[in-house]
Homo-oligomer: A and B are copies of this chain.
């Protein structure tokens, strides 16, 4: 199968590597704004050929958009304009409603499958790509009833080859859940980094003292705005809803401390501990 990867970065690159290893992709076209990323992707064996969008799409069985969600929203209708009944288009975006709405009336809507692999790191670019990144992670297909059956089957096959656990939900539910499970984590991590940078003027001390706990909560704060501003923008209402709840929860800790109410503090912590039963 011939595959086009639009956006040869962390996600697109990792997918290409795995699909090639599994033999599902035998030729990969790379399309990207960054000449530098394209050259790196070629050198790293992620792609076989640097191509224009039109040539790549025309020659491929599967087109994967792996670019920021605002860019996907703009580019997806153009890609669907170029495909025939024999081709399939998928994305990998962290928000889904905006993207499916952008093509809901497109005549080729059925060739598109909305997909979200629940994996990422704070790094980006083709050099960060790793073929086994998606293994055992959740892969969400949204609004599957709006995709053609064989397009859906192909994307399911892609997810299986990536060794992901498949889930199905509608785009709106997806965006609500990811606001809780993923987007708010990034905001708290950014805000935590800004808190420490604001209060702790001794950078050497941060570096020397930083415990594994701090590193893990602040790791996501390294993630780039090019990816995350569009996600927050497209999922604004859900993110604000969860962010308000999060500030309310933090205020409870503040109030417990201010009032020396350590029984309440313990109650808050015991409630949080329930996450132990839910998360591995």
Interface residues of A (CB under 8 A from B): 118-122, 137-138, 140, 165, 167, 177-178, 180-182, 184-200, 202-203, 205-225, 228-229, 232-233, 236, 239-247, 249-254, 257-258, 260, 262, 265-266, 268-276, 278-280
**Cβ B243 vs Cβ A254 within 8 A:** yes
Q: State how many copies of this chain the complex holds.
A: 2
Docked CA distance A273–B253 (Å): 27
Other contacts beyond A228-B269, A239-B257: 17, CB < 8 A: A118-B209, A119-B211, A137-B212, A138-B210, A167-B208, A177-B202, A184-B195, A185-B192, A187-B253, A188-B191, A193-B273, A195-B249, A199-B241, A217-B220, A222-B279, A243-B254, A243-B257
Can you give 16 A-B contacts (C-beta < 8 A)?
Answer: A180-B195, A180-B196, A181-B205, A182-B214, A191-B272, A192-B249, A194-B268, A197-B275, A199-B242, A199-B245, A203-B278, A206-B278, A207-B278, A216-B219, A216-B220, A229-B262
A-B pairs, top 10 by smallest CB distance, nearest first, are: A190-B272, A193-B272, A225-B269, A191-B249, A193-B275, A185-B217, A216-B216, A195-B246, A221-B272, A118-B211
